Chain A
Amino acid sequence: MKYALMIFEADADFAKRQGPEAPAYWNAWMAYSSSLKAAGVMAGGAGLEGPTTATVLRNIDGKATVQDGPFLDSKEQLGGFFLIDVPNLDEAIKWASRVPISELGSVEIRPLLPPPPNAE
Chain B
Amino acid sequence: MHQRIESIAQQSYGKLLAYLAGRYRGDIQAAEDALADAFARALQVWPAKGEPLNPEAWLLRVAGNQLIDGIRKQKRYQYVSVLQELEHASVGSSSIENSAVLTELEQIPDERLQMMFACAHPAIDPLVRTPLLLQAVLGLSAQRIASAFLVSPQTMSQRLVRGKIKIRDAGISFELPENLSERVQFVLDAIYGAFSIGWNGTEPASQSLVEDAISLARIVMARLPSHAEAAGLLALMLYCDARREARRTTENAYVPLDRQDPSHWDTTLVKEAEWLLSNASQLGQPGRYQLEAAIQSAHMQRRGNDGPTWKMIVALYSALETLVPTIGGRIGKAAAMAQAGDAAKALLELDSLEPALVAEHQPYWAVRADVLRRLGDAGYLEAYDRAIGLSDDNAVRQYLLLQKQLPMT
* Residues on A facing B (Cβ under 8 Å): 23-24, 27-28, 30-36, 38-39, 89-90, 93-94, 97-98, 100, 102-103
Contact flags B377-391 to A (C-beta < 8 A → 1, else 0): 000001011111111
Q: Is B53 an interface residue (CB 8 A)?
A: no
Which residues of the other chain, B, contact A30 by a CB distance below 8 angstroms?
385
Assess whether B392 is in contact with A31, with CB atoms less than 8 Å apart.
no
Q: Is B150 an interface residue (CB 8 A)?
A: yes
Interface size range on B against A:
20 to 34
Q: Is the interface of A mostly helix, strand, loop or mixed?
A: helix
Partner of B404, one of A27, A32, A33, A98: A27
Assess whether A93 is in contact with B152, with CB atoms less than 8 Å apart.
yes
Closest A residue by C-beta to B389 = A35
Q: Is the interface of B mostly helix, strand, loop or mixed?
A: helix
Partner of B401, one of A28, A33, A36, A39: A28
Which residues of the other chain, A, contact B391 by a CB distance below 8 angstroms?
98, 100
Given known pairs A89-B152, A90-B152, A93-B152, the reply for A34 and B385 (CB within 8 Å) is yes
Assess whether A31 is in contact with B150, with CB atoms less than 8 Å apart.
no
- Our count of residue pairs bridging A and B at CB distance below 8 angstroms stands at 58
Q: Tell me the smallest distance from the CB of A8 to a CB of chain B, in Å.
A: 16
Closest B residue by C-beta to A33 = B389
Partner of A100, one of B384, B386, B394: B394
Q: Is B155 an interface residue (CB 8 A)?
A: yes
Assess whether B150 is in contact with A93, with CB atoms less than 8 Å apart.
yes
How far does the alpha carbon of A88 sit from the alpha carbon of B384 in the complex, in Å? 27
Which residues of the other chain, A, contact B392 by a CB distance below 8 angstroms?
97-98
How far does the alpha carbon of A23 sit from the alpha carbon of B405 in the complex, in Å? 10
Closest A residue by C-beta to B154 = A89
Given known pairs A24-B401, A38-B359, the reply for A31 and B389 (CB within 8 Å) is yes
How far does the alpha carbon of A36 sit from the alpha carbon of B386 in the complex, in Å? 9
How far does the alpha carbon of A89 sit from the alpha carbon of B390 in the complex, in Å? 17
Assess whether B359 is in contact with A28, with CB atoms less than 8 Å apart.
no
Closest A residue by C-beta to B382 = A34
Assess whether A32 is in contact with B152, with CB atoms less than 8 Å apart.
no
Q: Is B333 an interface residue (CB 8 A)?
A: no
Contact flags B161-197 to A (C-beta < 8 A → 1, else 0): 0000000000000000000000000000000000000
Assess whether A28 is in contact with B397, with CB atoms less than 8 Å apart.
yes
Q: Tell me the smallest distance from the CB of A51 to a CB of chain B, in Å.
A: 22
Assess whether A98 is in contact with B152, with CB atoms less than 8 Å apart.
no
Assess whether B150 is in contact with A94, with CB atoms less than 8 Å apart.
yes
Assess whether A100 is in contact with B152, with CB atoms less than 8 Å apart.
no
Assess whether B397 is in contact with A97, with CB atoms less than 8 Å apart.
no
Partner of A34, one of B150, B152, B386, B398: B386
How far does the alpha carbon of A89 sit from the alpha carbon of B153 in the complex, in Å? 11
What are 17 pairs between A and B in contact, CB < 8 Å? A24-B398, A28-B397, A32-B388, A34-B386, A34-B389, A35-B386, A35-B388, A35-B389, A36-B389, A38-B389, A89-B152, A89-B155, A90-B151, A97-B150, A98-B389, A98-B391, A100-B394
Assess whether A38 is in contact with B150, with CB atoms less than 8 Å apart.
no
Contact flags B346-388 to A (C-beta < 8 A → 1, else 0): 0000000000000110000000000000000000001011111
